[in-house]
Amino acid sequence: MSSVRFRFAFSLIVGVALVLGALFGVRSILINDVGYFETRNSPDSDEPEASGPDFEVIYSGPSIEGQSITVYSGRNEALIGPLIQQFVESTGADVEVRYGNSTDLALLIEIEGQSTPADVFISQSPGAIEYLSTEGLLTPLPNELIEAVPAIFKGEGGDWAGLSGRRRVLVYNTELVDVEELPSSVLELTDARFAGRVAIAPGNSSFQDFVTLMRLEIGDDPTLAWLEGMAANNSPTYAKNSAIVDAVVRGEVDMGLVNHYYMLRYRDESPGAPGDNHLFADDDLGSAVLVTGVGILDDGDLNDAAPKAFIEFMLSEGAQEYYFKKTREYPVKLHLAVPAFLHPLPSEEDAQTLHFTELADGLAGTQDLIDRSGFR
């Protein structure tokens, strides 16, 4: 496959991959009269709280006051909860949210079928929501809701749309690393000069999405060779992205592969922290952009206004601004001017979409390669 200016990862989690999810690890309790649920153990929750200035999003659609909506969210409450609360306050609707791991929730929806209480599904990664689309469990979204979302940020069937994007980067300690030695490609990290210096999180979903993208782009054997090279280089491993950033800032390790917003949020809290993001070349695998997604469950009631209003709100310009002002993520509406601390994304014409549907074993195959390489 020829190289592209950017890689937008829409990974499909299929078959064994979903079975691997700990379905009953999703545990929720009702914690307030708005109907919010809190999850006690969610592997998707490797995310710090939203930072940045205060915000307000105003709903201007049709009245849905008093209507109810149930949301299954694979996004952490610390990030998406404030937006949902704004939706409640702006519309007068009643909202119940069940937080959990995106894969677990997708499998739960599949089991519940037409009896699922969920009206809307929010996925931390594109794979889980693409799985529901493939299984015919999502309803096509009205074009007027998603026409402003570029094709690179929504499902091919028009039944889900991206909400925000997270770019893969190399975070590094500015006191320990000379910018001249930073690589232009993630594939260079197996070089001897990086031995013991680059941390990864092999069990993290974002890293696994990145490895799945690598499999699709260069094949399984070269991907395994890269993983084995990282292992042979004694690359330190951590459980999650935030732990890597903490270690880099402490000087415990020089560099690490993470999503872009972790270092940005760290510097919001500690402006003098000795850390920064290094961007690989735009056409490099290391610059993959992973999107979060939202869709409406197909329960036969296509005229229910509340779920559509919810998605309209989440895709409004005010909500899109929330992502870069508060969570330091990319908005999916590419016409919005983003702050200088976010490296510009390419236009829709300059980017191509990569779907992982042609990888029959999906995430399970990726996890197998990681295990075979020596990482656990």
Mapping DSSP onto H, E and C, the string for 227-287 reads HHHHHHCCCCECCCHHHHHHHHHHCCCCEEEEECHHHHHHHHHCCCCCEEEECCCCCCHHH
Taking the C-alpha atoms of residue 77 and residue 47, their distance in angstroms, rounded to an integer, is: 10
At residue 193, the pLDDT reads 97
Q: Which among 199, 216, 230 is positioned nearest to 11, based on CA atoms?
A: 216
132 and 246 belong to one structural domain? no
- pLDDT of 19 over the 80 cut: no
258 and 305 belong to one structural domain? no
Bridge-partner residues for 120, per DSSP? 71, 296
Helix 205-218 vs helix 362-373: crossing angle, to nearest 10: 100
Helix 220-232 vs helix 362-373: crossing angle, to nearest 10: 40
CB contact at 8 A, 153 and 165: yes
302 and 158 belong to one structural domain? yes
CA 150 to chain centre: 17
Taking the C-alpha atoms of residue 51 and residue 78, their distance in angstroms, rounded to an integer, is: 10
At residue 252, the pLDDT reads 98
pLDDT digits (tens, 9 = 90+) for 151-161: 888 888 899 99
- pTM for the full predicted model: 0.77
299 and 158 belong to one structural domain? yes
CATH number at residue 137: 3.40.190.10
29 and 92 belong to one structural domain? yes
238 and 277 belong to one structural domain? yes
- Location of structure tokens 């899109």: 320
Taking the C-alpha atoms of residue 305 and residue 65, their distance in angstroms, rounded to an integer, is: 11
* Per-residue confidence band for 142, with pLDDT thresholds at 50, 70 and 90: very high
Taking the C-alpha atoms of residue 171 and residue 361, their distance in angstroms, rounded to an integer, is: 30
Question: Counting beta carbons within 10 angstroms of the beta carbon of residue 24, is it exposed (0 to 12), middle (13 to 18) or buried (19 or more)?
Answer: exposed
Among 9-23, 203-217, 285-299, where is mean pLDDT lowest?
Answer: 9-23
The residue that leads in pLDDT, 5 or 98, is 98
- pLDDT of 350 over the 50 cut: no
The Cα angle at residue 308 between residues 305 and 314, in degrees rounded to 5: 135
b/e 169-186 (16+ beta carbons within 10 angstroms → b): bbbbbeeebeeeeebeeb
Domain total of the chain: 2
The SS3 assignment for 121 reads strand
The residue that leads in pLDDT, 240 or 48, is 240
At residue 354, the pLDDT reads 47
CB contact at 8 A, 299 and 181: no
Distances (CA, A) of 101 to 26, 72, 329, 346: 7, 10, 20, 30
- pLDDT of 120 over the 60 cut: yes
Taking the C-alpha atoms of residue 299 and residue 116, their distance in angstroms, rounded to an integer, is: 8
Average confidence (pLDDT) over 278-291: 88
* Per-residue confidence band for 190, with pLDDT thresholds at 50, 70 and 90: very high
Residue 191 falls within a domain, yes or no?
Answer: yes
Residue 11 falls within a domain, yes or no?
Answer: no
131 and 272 belong to one structural domain? no
CB contact at 8 A, 364 and 15: yes
188 and 232 belong to one structural domain? yes
203 and 330 belong to one structural domain? no
- Show the domain range for 213: 167-288+360-373
Residue 345 falls within a domain, yes or no?
Answer: no
CB contact at 8 A, 13 and 128: yes
pLDDT > 70 in the chain, percent? 76
pLDDT > 90 in the chain, percent? 48
271 and 180 belong to one structural domain? yes
- pLDDT of 68 over the 90 cut: yes
Residue 288 identity (one-letter amino acid): A
- pLDDT of 175 over the 90 cut: yes
